[in-house]
Amino acid sequence: MNKTISHIVHLNIDADPKFISEEMLSEIENLVINLDITIKKKEIIKIKRINPSTLIGEGNLVKIDHDIKKKNINLLVVNNNLTPAQQKNLENRLKVKVTDRTGIILEVFARRAKTNEGKMQVQLAELIYRKSRLVRAWTHLERQRGGTTFIGGPGELQIELDRRLIQEKILNIKKRLSKVKRRRHVQRNLRKNNNFKTAALIGYTNAGKTLLFNKLTKKNQSSRSRLFETLDTKISRVYLGANKYIGLIDTVGFINNIPTSLIESFKATLEEVNKADILLNIVDVNDLNANQKIKVTKGILIDTGVEKNKISEMITIYNKIDIKGSKSLYQHKKNYISALTGEGVSDLKRTLKNSLI
Ligand SMILES: Nc1nc2c(ncn2[C@@H]2O[C@H](COP(=O)(O)OP(=O)(O)OP(=O)(O)O)[C@@H](O)[C@H]2O)c(=O)[nH]1
Ligand SMILES: [Mg+2]
């Protein structure tokens, strides 16, 4: 198989939330590297006016085309969301494969999924994404061909078959996932009956949720500097002292512009978050985009149906205070911790204990 050599572009057109473009570029870079794809060129393109058919204007496309030929690039990664038509038009114009942000995120999720449930959820997200591409790409194609002329032609039939097949697969996975949902529901009810409260660790990917989970529960879940290391939900007991326990939940991390198909398919997982008594939002204190990431996290919680009051009562925990001499700045401040050194963790336990009363 030929090696994938990519060119990454980030278009700074997403006005809200205003992420620092350099950070957004390094985020997608990180995701692309995780897919073992070589990066030959990366750039931020300032867009004044959006070109509806290709998103990127012709002037920039000429330069990109030049680089693609010069550096033997065979994949263009656009760190924004492309419509199916834009993706197709770019591919036709540049004669290389083109993928957008959602495509890359879905691919990383597919690589990370280990358990049955995780795999099913990712597969569902991919099918939902593909189905929408197929249908919309087809309507676009039909319009290009002059509408009704080709109705009943082989192209339409094939797409209709693909679409039906995809729909069947979607229904099948949804059925299997509903069993998982029911099982979780039963377990939650058991906890509720025993008056066993839960706290969910949530927040942007790579913030340190799993390392904190391990610290508090003495478990050994995989925590690595890779985006979306965790896909599956884990729950474990934490002793808070004075005969009090809480169930701590570790779950999938969030990201800006998370694909809607992922939110839809991770419902069973996200339900654990929705139903938790306390939400702990883990934030990397050294992150330049920390405030934007908090906004993104809140937005995703709203989108997934978490009650407003639960979001406003959410406790923000600033993690990684051991890095870059930040310790002196944050030492003894409430909810500033290091999951690595354990600093501030016993205070956090106290906060949790108090919130149980
Ligand atoms: N220096 C330092 N590194 C930390 C701290 N907490 C986490 N890390 C590191 O940050 C990286 C990400 O940690 P994880 O615990 O996997 O992050 P996560 O939030 O679970 O990420 P996802 O599972 O992708 O959502 C790992 O390399 C950790 O070792 C901390 O307090 N200090
Ligand atoms: Mg994790």
pLDDT digits (tens, 9 = 90+) for 77-122: 999 999 988 998 999 999 999 999 999 999 999 999 989 999 999 9
Query: Residue whose CA is closest, atom 2 of ligand 1?
Result: 320
What's domain 5-109's superfamily in CATH? GTPase HflX, N-terminal domain (3.40.50.11060)
User: Which of the four pLDDT bands, split at 50, 70 and 90, describes residue 157?
Assistant: low
CA of residue 191 to ligand 2 center, whole Å: 23
Q: Is 7 in the pocket of ligand 1 (CB under 6 A)?
A: no
Position 60 pLDDT exceeds 60: yes
Predicted local confidence at residue 186, as pLDDT: 93
Q: Is there a contact between 28 and 101 (Cβ–Cβ < 8 Å)?
A: yes
Predicted local confidence at residue 146, as pLDDT: 39
Check if 5-109 and 196-356 are the same fold.
yes
Whole-angstrom distance, CA of residue 65 vs CA of residue 76 = 10
Comparing CA positions, the residue from 218, 241, 225, 207 lying closest to residue 348 is: 241
Pairing of strands 5-11, 244-250: unpaired
Query: Residue whose CA is closest, atom 13 of ligand 1?
Result: 208
Position 18 pLDDT exceeds 70: no
Phi, psi of 76 (to 5 degrees): -105, 120
**What are the C-alpha distances in Å from 83 to residues 9, 13, 44, 154, 349?**
16, 15, 20, 24, 46
CA of residue 331 to ligand 2 center, whole Å: 25
Position 30 pLDDT exceeds 90: yes
Q: Is 27 in the pocket of ligand 1 (CB under 6 A)?
A: no
Query: Residue whose CA is closest, atom 14 of ligand 1?
Result: 208
Q: What's the whole-number mean pLDDT along residues 308-334?
A: 85
Burial of 157 (0-12, 13-18, 19+ CB in 10 A): exposed
CA of residue 282 to ligand 2 center, whole Å: 11
Please give the span between the terminal C-alpha atoms of the chain, in angstroms, as a whole number.
60
Going by CATH, does the domain composed of 196-356 fall within 3.40.50.300?
yes
Secondary-structure breakdown of the chain: helix, strand, coil percentages, each rounded to the nearest 5:
50, 15, 30
pLDDT for 266-308, tens place per residue?
888 888 899 999 999 999 999 988 999 999 999 999 998 999 9
Q: What's the whole-number mean pLDDT along residues 215-224?
A: 94
Q: Is there a contact between 105 and 78 (Cβ–Cβ < 8 Å)?
A: no
| Segments making up each domain of the chain, as ranges | 5-109, 113-175, 196-356
Of 218 and 155, which is predicted with more confidence?
218
What are the residue ranges of helices labelled H in 257-317? 260-265, 267-275, 290-303, 308-312
Query: What tokens appear for 259 in the block?
Result: 């694909």
Burial of 106 (0-12, 13-18, 19+ CB in 10 A): buried
User: Which of the four pLDDT bands, split at 50, 70 and 90, describes residue 20?
Assistant: confident
Of 136 and 37, which is predicted with more confidence?
37
pLDDT for 117-147, tens place per residue?
999 999 999 998 887 676 444 444 444 433 3
User: Which of the four pLDDT bands, split at 50, 70 and 90, describes residue 1?
Assistant: low
Provide the whole-model pTM: 0.89
Q: Is 118 in the pocket of ligand 1 (CB under 6 A)?
A: no
